[in-house]
Amino acid sequence: MKVTIPYTPRKQQAFIHKELDKHRFSVLCCHRRFGKTVMLINHLIKCCMMNKNHQPRFAYIAPTYSQAKKIAWDYLKFYTKGLPNTKYNETELRCDFFNGSRITLLSSENPDSIRGIYLDGVVCDEASQISRELIDEVIRPAIADRKGWMSLCSTPKGMNNIFYDMYLKAQQEKDWFLYKAKASETNLVDKEELDAAFKVMGAATYNQEFECSFIGNVRGSIYGELISKLEDEKRIARVPYDPSYSVNTAWDIGFNDSTAILFYQNVGHAINIIDCYENNNKAFPHYAQILKEKDYVYNQHIGPHDLEQTDFTTGRTRREVAYQLGLKFKIAPKLSIEDGIHAVKMLLPRCYIDVDNCTKFINALRHYHRKYKEKDRLYSAKPNHDWSSHFNDALRTLATGLENEKFNNIRIRQTAYDKGFTL
């Protein structure tokens, strides 16, 4: 039987439909007014028509029952009205098709209420507002025995949610489909309307809603634009350890506070940050052991200037204690925080960051920000000190240490040249 659905996908939507057919898992990060709900409802309808399993079951899940009914139910009825013998259950928000397949609209408000179902495919719309429990404990088991598919679609809403976690996971997994649609690139919303929205919403909210920025809700973000650019250039991806190159480390040292370590490799002009580690209330032997346990061949360790401070209980500097444990540090120059941030901004365009091992570091980069002073209506000069500070301090150590090393190499070459030698 040949049926026609009154739906003509846009160019971007047509591309997504093809990729959804190829991939079992997908993450769609789309700007407002992209048409994602219409697209996903129609994809579910197509799957109902083409699935060969016995009594196929599909679900559209919204954050709330009200959203499912207001946003998706009318679309589902409109696009299936021409299909023969289609039955609607208004109470259960369910559409039954002539071939025994079914689409049910559900909400994430009570995950226990939908445990035990089986699914051939599921769409989670506005997934940034859906609970982790629903994805991990309900949906994933529901698609297991039928090897069903799952698509998460949303506009970003910060980093503390399952959608952001799955967005990072999709960057790691080669068999997942990841699609990001910015309004400035799709041209689905005209520029005049976007400009008007920008004036009303402000830069932070606009970037979140229309430019798919995960740091849009982080006011005063320091590296936000650079991180977005790294992401667009696929520099936040899988960056495996290359045993043909030695590994270096850069540190932020703390005792009552956290100590953070970045592991990186110099590969030509690029800086590959392949791993990271953070802990607190631990002395140097702990970190020395962590380095030994990793299968890396080390070249150098760059530490902050406060390694030269003397511990009056032992009469030795922290650098001397580290040396006895086999950690020979080069000390990064002491610069102002602002100069260090500038050095990082010069360094980041050279970086590739491993999304598997460096998730916490990536989150810290996105979150690092200056605090906004409501009274003065300006941002503070110093970055806000919180959980994200330690990895960012380690990155400043890396940036200033490399810059100092570059300067020393130039000076050595110049001195040799002045004396008539060629290096």
- Phi, psi torsion values for 199, nearest 5 degrees: -65, -35
Q: What confidence tens digit (pLDDT) does each residue in 132-175 have?
A: 899 999 999 999 999 999 999 999 998 889 999 999 999 888 89
Q: Which two tokens stand for residue 404?
A: 């100092």
Q: What confidence tens digit (pLDDT) does each residue in 200-252 have?
A: 998 888 999 999 998 876 778 899 889 988 988 989 989 999 999 999 999 99
Per the model's pLDDT, the better-predicted residue between 100 and 4 turns out to be 100
Per-residue pLDDT averaged across 101-117, rounded?
Answer: 91
Q: What is the pLDDT of residue 96?
A: 96
Asked if 397 and 405 count as a contact pair (C-beta separation under 8 A), the reply is: no
pLDDT of 420 strictly over 80: no
Q: What is the pLDDT of residue 419?
A: 53
Gap between the Cα atoms of 14 and 26, Å rounded:
15
Closest CA to 278 of 201, 187, 392: 392
Q: What is the pLDDT of residue 191?
A: 93
CATH topology of domain 236-414: Nucleotidyltransferase; domain 5 (3.30.420)
* CA geometry: angle 376, 378, 379, nearest 5 deg: 125
CATH topology of domain 12-189+211-217: Rossmann fold (3.40.50)
Please report which confidence band the pLDDT of residue 381 belongs to, taking 50, 70 and 90 as the band edges: confident
Please report which confidence band the pLDDT of residue 344 belongs to, taking 50, 70 and 90 as the band edges: very high
Q: What is the pLDDT of residue 416?
A: 46
Question: How many Cβ atoms are within 10 Å of 22's Cβ, its own excluded?
Answer: 9
pLDDT of 410 strictly over 60: no
Q: What is the pLDDT of residue 412?
A: 44
DSSP string, 208-238: HHHS--TTTTSTTBSSHHHHHHHHHTT-EE-
Q: Which two tokens stand for residue 151?
A: 């698509």
The secondary element (H helix, E strand) that includes residue 315 is: none
Per-residue pLDDT averaged across 98-103, rounded?
Answer: 94
Q: What is the pLDDT of residue 414?
A: 47
Q: What is the mean pLDDT of the chain?
A: 90
Asked if 58 and 102 count as a contact pair (C-beta separation under 8 A), the reply is: yes
pTM for the predicted model, two decimal places: 0.79
pLDDT of 314 strictly over 80: no
| Domain ranges, ordered by start, for the chain | 12-189+211-217, 236-414
Output the CA torsion sign for 331, 225, 368, 247. negative
Q: What confidence tens digit (pLDDT) does each residue in 53-80 have?
A: 999 999 999 999 999 998 899 999 999 9
Asked if 29 and 179 count as a contact pair (C-beta separation under 8 A), the reply is: yes
